[in-house]
């Protein structure tokens, strides 16, 4: 457009340019190049920030996968499951009958540990609890996302193995979360096991929102 080219001529003989040196306001080609690079840097930084945030929320650091939390007693599932061959339900008794899997009472522990290793220092909390009749508090390992109504019994009734969510506890010296247990993981399973095969919400009972949220 003729109009636009007109202004080069104009800008050269610009009225009162301050000092001939800073006609470009100190922006020589090099400076300009620097500015361009800086701009590029800003763009890249923004991108990087986004990616790392996303990565953070997927990371074990956030969802604690494989991170064993410290317990009052260094309980080993490996020992009790792989070596002693206890059934899960021996301790987690109500898993098949109620929403909660159930934690063993101290007395349950003492059925063996009143004799076995009873002298070991690590059992002091156990004996204290038994003596003082105060509950023994364990650190919770498997946490679900917010606002979920979860029922162990119905999952077992539908033939889901404990390991499907809790992993191979038999190989854990100290118990840790085996899977992130994010909503997506729930959905992966609920969608695939839909009787009708298709996964559009509303066509499969298991993908109904109210199945887990109400």
Partner 1 sequence: MSSLNPVHSSPPDRAPRATDEFAAGASVWRDGIERRDFLKLMGASLLLAGLPACTRRPPDALVSRADPPGADAIPELQWYATAVPWHGYARGALVRIARGRPILLEGNPDHPESRGALDAVSQAMILSLYDPERSGSPRQRDAAADWDAFTAAWSAQHTAMSERRGARLAILTEPTTSPTLIREIHALLEEWPEARWFQHSAMPEYERNGSVDVDLSQADVLFTIGSDLFYQHPSAIRHVADFTRRRAATVDKHSGLRMHALEATPTLTGMRADRRLAVAPDRQAAVLNSLTTFFRGEPQTTGLSSRESEFVRRLAGDVRKTHAVAVCVVGEEMPAEIQSWANAFNAQFGATALRTRPILRSDSDPACHGGLAEFLDALASAEVAIVLGANPAYASPRAAATTEALKKVPFTVHAGESADETAGASIWHLPEAHFLESWSDLRAYSGEATILQPATRPLHEGRSLAEIVHFLRTGAWQSAYELVRTTWRSFLGSAFEMEWNRALQRGVLAAPTARPDSKSPDFPWPVLAGRAPATGLVVLIRADLNLHDGRWANNAWLQELPRPFTALTWENAVLMAATDARERGLKSGDLVACQAGDAGIEGPVWILPGQAPGCVTVHLGGGRARAGHVGLARGFNAYALQDPVSPWTRAGGSVRATGRRQEFASTQRHFQMEGRDLVREIRPGQTLRSVDAAQPTLLPAWPREGYAWAMSIDLDACFGCNACIVACQAENNIPVVGRDQVIREREMHWIRVDRYFTGEAENARLVHQPVPCMQCENAPCELVCPVGATVHSSEGLNDMVYNRCVGTRYCANNCPYKVRRFNFLDYRMPADSLPYLGANPVVSIRERGVMEKCTYCVQRIDAGRSAAERAGRRVRDGEIQTACQQACPVGAIVFGDLSDPASNVSRRRRDPRSYALLEELGTRPRTTYLARVNREPPGGEGA
Partner 2 sequence: MIEGNAILQTDVPNPARAGLTGPAMTRTVADIPLAHRLPRFWWVAFVAGGMGVLLLFVAIGWLFLRGVGVWGINRPVAWGFAIVNFVWWIGIGHAGTFISAILLLLYQDWRTSISRFTEAMTLFAVACAGIYPILHLGRPQFLYWLLPYPDTMGVWPQFRSPLVWDVFAVSTYATVSLLFWYIGLLPDLATMRRLARTRWQARLYGLMSLGWRGDAVHWADYERLYRTLAGLAAPLVVSVHSIVGLDFAVALLPGWHSTIFPPYFVGGAIFSGFSMVLTLVIPLRRWYHLEALITTRHLELMAKVLMVTGWVVIYGYFSEFYEAWRAGNIFDRYMAVNRAVGPYAPWFWLLIACNVLSPQVLWRRRWRCNPAVLFAVALAVNAGMWIERFVIVITSLHRDFIPAAWGMFTPTRWDIATLAGTIGLFVALLFLFLRFVPAISMSEMRGWLTREERP
- Residues at the interface with partner 1 (CB under 8 A): 62, 64, 69, 93-94, 98-109, 129-130, 132-141, 143-151, 153-154, 157-158, 196, 201-205, 207-211, 213-214
- Out of 73, 86, 162, 183, which residue is the one contacting partner 2 (CB under 8 A)? 183
- The piece of 13-21, 66-74, 99-107, 121-129 that touches partner 2 (CB under 8 A) is 13-21
Helix (H, G, I), strand (E, B) or coil at 10: helix
User: 79 or 184: whose CB is closer to partner 2?
Assistant: 184
User: 44 or 200: whose CB is closer to partner 1?
Assistant: 200
Instruction: Mark 109-126 as b/e (b = at least 16 C-beta within 10 Å).
Output: bbeebeeeeeeeeebebb
CB 205 to partner 2: min, Å: 17
Total chain residues near partner 2 (CB under 8 A): 38
User: 32 or 97: whose CB is closer to partner 2?
Assistant: 32
CB 11 to partner 2: min, Å: 5
Within 10 A of 106 (CB to CB), how many other CB atoms are there?
A: 19
99 neighbors 153 (Cβ within 8 angstroms): yes
Q: Rounded CA gap, 162 and 175, in Å?
A: 14
Those residues whose C-beta lies under 8 Å from the C-beta of residue 103, and which sit 6 or more positions away, are 91, 92, 138
16 binds partner 2 (CB under 8 A): yes
Count Cβ atoms within 10 A of the Cβ of residue 166 and give its class: 0-12 exposed, 13-18 middle, 19 or more buried: buried
CB 60 to partner 2: min, Å: 13
202 binds partner 2 (CB under 8 A): no
**Positive or negative torsion for Cα 188, 61, 214, 97:** positive
Beta bridge partners of 65: 177
Which of positions 133-152 make contact with partner 2 (CB under 8 A)?
145
53, interface contact from partner 2, partner 1, none, CB < 5-8 Å by kind: none
User: 4 or 209: whose CB is closer to partner 1?
Assistant: 209
24 binds partner 2 (CB under 8 A): yes
150, interface contact from partner 1, partner 2, none, CB < 5-8 Å by kind: partner 1
For the chain, report the end-to-end CA distance as a whole number of angstroms: 64
């Amino acid at each position: 457009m003729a109009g636009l080219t007109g202004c080069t001529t104009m800008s050269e003989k610009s009225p009162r340019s301050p000092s001939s040196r800073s006609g470009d306001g100190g922006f020589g080609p090099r400076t300009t190049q620097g500015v361009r690079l800086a701009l590029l840097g800003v763009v890249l930084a923004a991108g990087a920030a986004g990616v790392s945030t996303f990565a953070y929320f997927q990371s074990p650091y956030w969802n604690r996968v494989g991170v064993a939390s410290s317990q009052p007693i260094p309980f080993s599932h490996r020992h009790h499951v792989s070596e002693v061959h206890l059934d899960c339900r021996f301790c987690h008794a109500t898993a098949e009958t109620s929403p909660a899997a159930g934690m063993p009472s101290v007395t349950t522990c003492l059925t063996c540990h009143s004799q076995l290793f009873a002298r070991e220092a690590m059992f002091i909390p156990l004996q204290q609890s038994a003596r003082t009749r105060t509950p023994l508090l364990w650190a919770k390992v498997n946490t679900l996302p917010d606002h979920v109504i979860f029922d162990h019994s119905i999952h077992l009734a539908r033939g889901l193995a404990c390991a499907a969510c809790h992993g191979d506890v038999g190989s854990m010296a100290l118990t840790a979360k085996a899977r992130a247990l994010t909503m997506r993981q729930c959905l992966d399973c609920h969608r695939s096991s839909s009787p009708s095969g298709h996964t559009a919400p509303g066509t499969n009972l298991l993908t109904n929102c109210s199945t887990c949220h109400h």
